[in-house]
Amino acid sequence: MANEHFEALVSSILRNTPLRKPTVLTPKSLRRILQVTEGITANIFHLINSLAADAAQSGQERITDEVVENWRPLSDGEAAYT
């Protein structure tokens, strides 16, 4: 049940990003997001917003499993939840 709620939360956040292409993540990427953010809602929003900004700037216009797997914190603040 908790996994369903987490997946629904991530899906909802992803639907509300300004990206032009849909993002569909594998269960492995969802587990990575959960691991990195420790399930803390604010951290989930921050991570997805960061990935969405990178996707828009790169022209990719969607978040891929590869970028989720390769995500690393850029600042000390982000490092607090890695």
Domain assignments of the chain as residue spans, ordered by start: 2-79
Buried b (16+ CB within 10 A) or exposed e, 43-79: bbeebbeebbeebeeeebebbbbebbeebeeeeeebe
CA 31 to chain centre: 10
8 A C-beta contact, residue 43 and residue 81 = yes
Q: For residue 62, what pLDDT is reported?
A: 97
What's the pLDDT tens digit per position in 4-53? 999 999 999 999 999 999 999 999 999 999 999 999 999 999 999 999 99
